[in-house]
Every structure is written in C-alpha cells, then in structure tokens.
Amino acid sequence: MGVLAGRTALVTGASRGIGRGIAERLARDGARVAVHYGRNEAAAKETVAAIEAVGGSAFALGVELGLPGDAQALWEAFDRHADGVDILVNNAGIGGARPLSEIEEEEYDKVFAVNVKAPFFIVRRGLDRLRDGGRVINISSGLSRTAAIPQQIAYAMTKGALDVFTRDLSKVLGHRGITVNSVAPGIIDTDNTAELLHGTQDGAAWAASISALGRVGTPADVADVVAFLASDAGRWVTGSWVDATGGSLT
C-alpha cells in the first residue's frame, strides 16, 4: 500500500512536463489522480495510460483555463469521476519571454488569468470538495525570488502573486488541518525549455552552471518534493515557499 492510498489528487496541467511528473509520482504513491489538461487530450491520455500501466489509477479532465467559468467547469468534470479531493496541485501555467517594452494588455491579462485567477477560483469553487486534512500545493517559480531573467517580468509577477495566495490561504484553511505550500522549480528539462536546453550547447551549459548541483533539473526532482508535502510526512509544513531550484538562487 502506498503512502497516499485511498486519497484522490487533482493535478492541473498534468499532461506533460512537471505536471505529468507530479501526477505519475502521486499515483505511484497510491493516490487516484485526476490528470487535467487544457487542449492536449492525447498527451493527457498518454499520462493516464502510463499511470495505469504500472498499476495506478487515473482519469483525464479537459478544461481550458483562463476563460470565464473555467474553475466551475473543472470541478463539474471532476465530479463525474470522484466525490472529493485530498490533494490539489495547481501546476498549470503559461509563461512568456517578452520584455516590458513589448508585452501588451491582452497577453498580460492572459498570463494572470491562467497563473493567478484560475488557481484562486479552483480553490474557491473546490472548498466543499477539499477534504479536511488535505493538501494544496501551488507550483511557483524561482523567478518570484530573482531577476535572473527579467524579460519574463509578467510571468514572475504571477508567481509572486501565487506565493502570497499560498501564504494567506494557509491561515484560511489551517483550522481544517489543510496545509498549503508553494514549490518553486528552477530550470527543468521539459518541452517548454527544449529550445533553451537542447537548441544550443551553450544553453544547457548555462542552465547547469547556475545550479549549485551543477545540472539541469528533471520533472522527477520537483515531483519528489511535491510528494513529500502531499504525504503525512509533510503535515507540519504549511505557508511555506519551498526552493526546488537545485540551488540556483544561491
């Protein structure tokens, strides 16, 4: 029996990258996992199939975030498969590398809608589904604490807002025994960073050089931190910002 046996998890943006790594790890620990995706149904089904292939339990939910009514639609889809959730991982997010002089209002509004507004209302609409003693884990970014990539200013701002949400939500939900934490990855080897890491040799070398551990992170590196916070072992950690950058901020 895994440490999360009998629990249900919802991971947003779980069809690929960090989200897929988290979904697979939580399932390996025994949780039944709702694999949310925005548009890539095929990738979500691949994640579900990978979980089931090793004896885990999962189901896919397709709802595009950043649109009016997205949180309600997500929970309505979830309700067709489960009657409550123990672990909520707000992982879905979009980024951008436009400098301040180029970003326009539409793009700014979109990144805040997906990265800040959606997690807020997913929690808000899910309060009666989130079981006492549960977990809320928000995937932040090392960029909320460093100006190392200033062209991602709007994206970094959204993660700073998400960290404040984490901090205050921990006090709002603490009386129910629910912990709330942010996990902040650094540069992780996913399809989102493929151009940087694999487009040129210099990109990969630079990314490895800024880590105190001398390598680029993997989705599993982040997923293991999330799994700790989701387990009983993480019961006394709440309201925290957990650095999962591999020492990139040192």
CATH number assigned to the domain comprising residue 104: 3.40.50.720
Long-range contacts of 68-73 (CB under 8 A, 24+ apart): 70/118, 70/121, 71/118, 71/121, 71/122, 71/124, 71/125, 71/126, 72/121, 72/125
Catalytic residue, from 15, 155, 211, 248: name it.
Answer: 155
pTM of the model: 0.96
Helix (H) or strand (E) holding 137: strand 130-139
User: Is there a domain that residue 213 lies in?
Assistant: no
Q: 32 is written with which tokens? A: 């039944």
Catalytic residue, from 140, 144, 231, 248: name it.
Answer: 140
What residues in the chain have per-residue pLDDT under 50?
none
Residue 45 known to be catalytic: no
Catalytic residue, from 141, 144, 170, 211: name it.
Answer: 141
User: Is there a domain that residue 202 lies in?
Assistant: no
User: Is there a domain that residue 112 lies in?
Assistant: yes
Question: What is the C-alpha separation between 28 and 120, in angstroms, rounded?
Answer: 28
Residue 170 known to be catalytic: no
Closest CA to 3 of 238, 232, 236, 223: 232
Residue 110 known to be catalytic: no
Residue 193 pLDDT: 77
Domain count, the chain: 1
Residue 197 pLDDT: 78
Residue 238 pLDDT: 98
What range does the domain containing 21 cover? 8-189+219-244
> Residue 115 gets which letter from DSSP?
I
Catalytic residue, from 159, 170, 211, 231: name it.
Answer: 159
Residue 15 known to be catalytic: no
User: Is there a domain that residue 212 lies in?
Assistant: no
User: Is there a domain that residue 107 lies in?
Assistant: yes
Cα 183 to Cα 48, 53, 193: the distances in Å are 23, 28, 18
User: Is there a domain that residue 250 lies in?
Assistant: no
